[in-house]
Structure 1
Amino acid sequence: MIRPVSVNDAAKLADIYNHYVTNTLISFEEEEISTDTMLSRIKDADKNAGIWLVLETDSLILGYAYCTHWKARSAYRFSHEVTIYLAPEAQGKGVGTRLYQALLDAISRRPIKNILAIIALPNDASIALHEKIGMKKVAHFEKVGYKFGQWVDVGYWQMSLPEDPLVKE
């Protein structure tokens, strides 16, 4: 089942996210976050009309995806960033595709023209997922992050949505 995030999900989402913080280059955070920090992020997104979804099976959250403003300045209001994190046991099982399809459906009902994903490189699985849903690589920044004693590149993937949000304003 895919559903909107609840404040009660904060601890599990923090657990999923912290796996990436402590074990991978995928997140550029270097210290685990608390449940309260995750709760604050959920509430912030809700306050700012963000979209957060979780995929749950048998009361177990297998992953989450969200869409938030890309940049704060008003001219960027039609461009949003999308992000996804899966529990390690959910990887390679279609969870990411299902979550992104639901997120794209929710995004299609909002005044959004472009979505962007920022991916720490290399990350073949994430690249494959984002390209599967129709995103294309539009930028590559070399050595912009430093974690675990190494420099990390970042790529931007983008998808322009077919609807023009200015027609809806």
Structure 2
Amino acid sequence: MPSIHLRCASPADAAPICAIYHPYVANTAITFEEEAVTTPDMAQRIADVHGAGLPWLVLEVDGKLAGYAYATRWRVRPAYRHSVESTIYLDAAFTGRGLGRVLYGALLDELGKRGLHMVIGGIALPNDSSVGLHEALGFRKAAHFTEVGLKFGRWIDVGYWERKL
């Protein structure tokens, strides 16, 4: 059995997080970013999430950073302060093992402890594995926007799934 460890991310995790994220940026439409994120920029993103009072978690398997999950504010207006958008990425070498459920479940638990009410997950479509993960964790589809992103010369739909905590 592998050793699994969940912990809060720190800016020192930026380089391995970039290593996980970059293939998604370069090779997929899962993220709408088009340029690789630098290590200093990722370190700042981690600090910004923590500075907003929100969690950014990492999952280590046998001492290797295998994935990360975090939440950001859904919108800036004060009435939205109890809603967040969630994000999760796994290193491709660690997918298909149930680790996404472990990591995402820990993020949802942490959000509940912080008194948040609604979690929203945006998914570039099609993406059966992400839809399956969200629905297995109790999310339900709330919206579908057509052709809202353009990456690799093709228009991409985005769906939003929501879960009350």
Q: TM-score, normalised by structure 2?
A: 0.96
SS in 2 for 1:97: helix
Identity among equivalent positions (%) equals 50
1:95 CA drift (Å): 0.9
**1:147 paired residue number:** 151
Q: 1:93 and 2:110 equivalent?
A: no
Q: 1:122 and 2:133 equivalent?
A: no
1:58 CA drift (Å): 2.1
Aligned equivalent of 1:136, options 118, 137, 140: 140
Aligned equivalent of 2:111, options 103, 107, 112: 107
* Partner Cα separation in structure 2 for residue 132 and residue 118 of structure 1: 15
The CA RMSD over aligned residues, in Å, is 0.7
**2:23 paired residue number:** 19
Unmatched segments (≥5 aa) in structure 1: 162-169
Query: Which amino acid in structure 2 is aligned with residue 59 of structure 1?
Result: G
Q: 1:29 and 2:33 equivalent?
A: yes
Unmatched segments (≥5 aa) in structure 2: none
* Partner Cα separation in structure 1 for residue 117 and residue 48 of structure 2: 22
SS in 1 for 2:113: coil
SS in 1 for 2:110: helix
Question: Runs ≥4 in structure 1, deviation > 6 angstroms?
Answer: none
* Partner Cα separation in structure 1 for residue 110 and residue 164 of structure 2: 15
Aligned residues: 161
SS in 2 for 1:108: helix
Instruction: Say whether the 8 Å CA contact 2:140–2:162 is kept in structure 1.
Output: yes
